[in-house]
Structure 1
Amino acid sequence: MAGAQGSDPTGEAPPVIAVVGPTGSGKSDLAVSLALELDGEVINADSMQFYRGMDIGTAKITDAERRGVRHHLLDILDVTEEASVSAFQHQARAVVADIHSRGKRAIVAGGSGLYVRAALDVLEFPGTDPDIRRRLEAELEAAGPAPLRERLEAADPVSAARLGDARRIIRALEVFELTGRPFSSFMPERKYFQPAVQIGLEVDRELLRERLAQRVHAMVERGLLEEVRRLDAAGLRHGKTASRALGYAQFLRVLDGVSSVAQATDETILATRQFARRQLTWFRADPRVHWLDWRDSDLMNKAAALCGTPPDPPLA
């Protein structure tokens, strides 16, 4: 029996719901259950699930697993396109407004922390300049990352201390040249753009480690290598974002003959576990997240109660 509709007699939209946590913790399943209970629709906030054809390696929710619930912002990019947090922010907020206008609940689900914040929080994104970007990338190619890092340390020591990879250093320098402001000045306070509630899935870390290993092995058995081979033909390795996805980067090396399937599987398991730890660190830093035990037999009812619309009582 479905719970109360998302409309509010006062005319105000209900809070946006976000289901967050590490990869493999069951976010997609809980989001679908909440959508069925609260008459909602799900908005994807996993940046790698934007890509068409990246299904096995991203554990993208299948049509059967969606159980009839409408999902948004899945399969919206080709693998050669670059994902943009700024573009996602505009898309996600437009989808939230549409869902609420139809009296339904908007449920954001995903483990890409910055994308979740882009959907929920007051968050300003500086523009881009392709000419500046190309020049900085040429400098990186010619001299390596050290000179760029030194320049960033002088202009924006806060960002220099936070950012590790060359791509992010280039972005920080681009923003500084474009705006005259340090990239770190654009980091937001934890302030919701509109009312929201975040539900985090609390995991047993050792059980999660085992689950992630089993999941990667299952992906390989389902045809991950063949999926990577097909996407490689479609330009995967030329995509700045998609080519770095967990599993895809590792299995591209199998296609290149530099890794075996067994090696790529082990590397993917390790990288996935490391990613899950980073996700937990990210979401744990947000005091607004309500944490629930991922294995609680009453998980869905407890989550629904947090959303401001309790489910109907069970039938006698």
Structure 2
Amino acid sequence: MSVVTRTNVIAVVGPTAAGKSDLAVELALRTPGEAVNADSMQLYRGMDIGTAKLAPQERREVPHHLLDIWDVTETASVAEYQRLSRKVIGEIHGRGRMPVLVGGSGLYVRAALDDLEFPGTDPAVRARLEQELAERGPEAMYERLRELDPPAAAAILPSNGRRVVRALEVIEISGRPFTATLPAYRYLYDAVQIGLTVPRPELDERIAVRVERMWSAGLVAEVAALEEAGLRDGLTASRALGYAQVLRFLTGEWTEEQAKDATIRATRRFARRQESWFRRDPRVRWLPYDAPDLAARALELVARGSRT
């Protein structure tokens, strides 16, 4: 049964391992709608186990868009994602259906939903910062970003050198913090964002269980196969959670157990950054991830629209 609503885009957001994908499928079935991926790593072909990408049968015949569109050697671009996601949202509206955006990549969610333009680039500044990244490594540059723009640093993994470089580039070009270049929260659509909350101890345990399952499902083999496809050459994909750690195991730098433990720790830190990002957005309506009537409560928020 579909719901009567003035909302025309739904977004399901929150930390990793909160159950976003399952809720998005349920909402798409009930509205009816189609899912639009907003997880930056699920954009990559072959990165299935480590990104917890839903298997085809788990999608329950709900169309899913913007999965598996980039090769692992391709560098991610949030501006390109913005173009693609808005095109897909328009096409779904054209079919008279509800776009259900789902993912925990906060800047990608904003790129899809908000009146947001990204600052330009300066090739000379970018080249110099990338050279510094190659020489000093991402952690040293991350510390500089944390001094210049703590909110931006809080939303970026220290190992994500490309995003650190981009933030430092914007700061240098604009003379302002990277976060200051993001405008006030202003939707392009009549959207409703539903955030899933998980108590910290439960979230930590869910992450540990998820990583164990990924290992059991063949994450190491998946990374090894992607390594043959050029994963190490990908500036974005090679730094993904789980993939970066397994690559260090495959080179002999870490044991497999060290790689697994490091993945759990890094994912827990990332989940905290995700929570911090989405908590700053006053428009997100939060619901407990384990509510027995979760889908019904979410649909109530959707029916009210974004202006209530």
Both proteins in one fold, TM over 0.5: yes
Distance 1:208 1:77 in 2: 30
- Is 1:40 aligned with 2:33? yes
CA positional deviation for 1:170: 3.3
Distance 2:242 2:145 in 1: 31
- Identity level (%): 57
Aligned residue number for residue 58 of structure 2: 65
1:151-173: CA deviation from partner (whole Å, max 9, x where unpaired):
989xxx85478448554453245
With over 3 angstroms needed to count, the CA separation of the structure-2 counterparts of 1:79 and 1:140, relative to structure 1, is closer
What pairs up with 1:130-279 in 2 under 5 angstroms?
130-141=123-134, 159=149, 162-163=152-153, 167-168=162-163, 170-175=165-170, 183-279=178-274
Residues 123 and 188 in structure 1, CA contact (< 8 A), matched pair in contact too:
yes
CA positional deviation for 1:119: 0.9
Residues 38 and 309 in structure 1, CA contact (< 8 A), matched pair in contact too:
no
Structure 2 residue corresponding to 1:22, chosen from 15, 20, 23: 15
Distance 1:302 1:152 in 2: 39
With over 3 angstroms needed to count, the CA separation of the structure-2 counterparts of 1:76 and 1:167, relative to structure 1, is closer
With over 3 angstroms needed to count, the CA separation of the structure-2 counterparts of 1:39 and 1:254, relative to structure 1, is same
Residues 32 and 98 in structure 2, CA contact (< 8 A), matched pair in contact too:
yes
Q: 2:261 is paired with a residue of what secondary structure?
A: helix
Equivalent residue letter for 2:233: H
Aligned residue number for residue 49 of structure 2: 56
Structure 2 residue corresponding to 1:117, chosen from 102, 110, 118: 110
Q: Using the TM superposition, name which of 63-72 and 292-301 deviates more.
A: 292-301
Equivalent residue letter for 1:221: S
Name structure 2 gaps, 5 residues minimum. Answer: none
Aligned residue number for residue 100 of structure 2: 107
> For the aligned residues, what is the CA RMSD?
2.8
Residues 149 and 160 in structure 1, CA contact (< 8 A), matched pair in contact too:
no
- Is 1:77 aligned with 2:70? yes
Name structure 1 gaps, 5 residues minimum. Answer: 9-13, 311-316
CA positional deviation for 1:15: 2.6
CA positional deviation for 1:127: 2.6
Aligned residue number for residue 288 of structure 2: 293
CA positional deviation for 1:176: 5.8
Distance 2:221 2:202 in 1: 29
Equivalent residue letter for 2:67: L
Distance 2:93 2:50 in 1: 32
TM-score (norm: length of structure 2): 0.88
With over 3 angstroms needed to count, the CA separation of the structure-2 counterparts of 1:211 and 1:136, relative to structure 1, is closer
With over 3 angstroms needed to count, the CA separation of the structure-2 counterparts of 1:85 and 1:184, relative to structure 1, is same
Residues 236 and 243 in structure 1, CA contact (< 8 A), matched pair in contact too:
yes
Q: 2:36 is paired with a residue of what secondary structure?
A: strand
Equivalent residue letter for 1:224: L
Q: 2:278 is paired with a residue of what secondary structure?
A: helix
Equivalent residue letter for 1:292: L
Residues 160 and 169 in structure 1, CA contact (< 8 A), matched pair in contact too:
no
Distance 1:15 1:40 in 2: 10
CA positional deviation for 1:4: 4.1
What count of residue pairs does the alignment treat as equivalent? 300
CA positional deviation for 1:188: 1.5
Residues 3 and 303 in structure 2, CA contact (< 8 A), matched pair in contact too:
no
Distance 2:96 2:84 in 1: 19
Q: Using the TM superposition, name which of 256-265 and 120-129 deviates more.
A: 120-129
Largest Rg, 1 or 2: 1
Aligned residue number for residue 11 of structure 1: none
CA positional deviation for 1:142: 5.5
Residues 82 and 111 in structure 2, CA contact (< 8 A), matched pair in contact too:
yes
Distance 2:250 2:32 in 1: 44
Distance 2:261 2:143 in 1: 35
With over 3 angstroms needed to count, the CA separation of the structure-2 counterparts of 1:298 and 1:181, relative to structure 1, is closer
Q: Using the TM superposition, name which of 168-177 and 284-293 deviates more.
A: 168-177
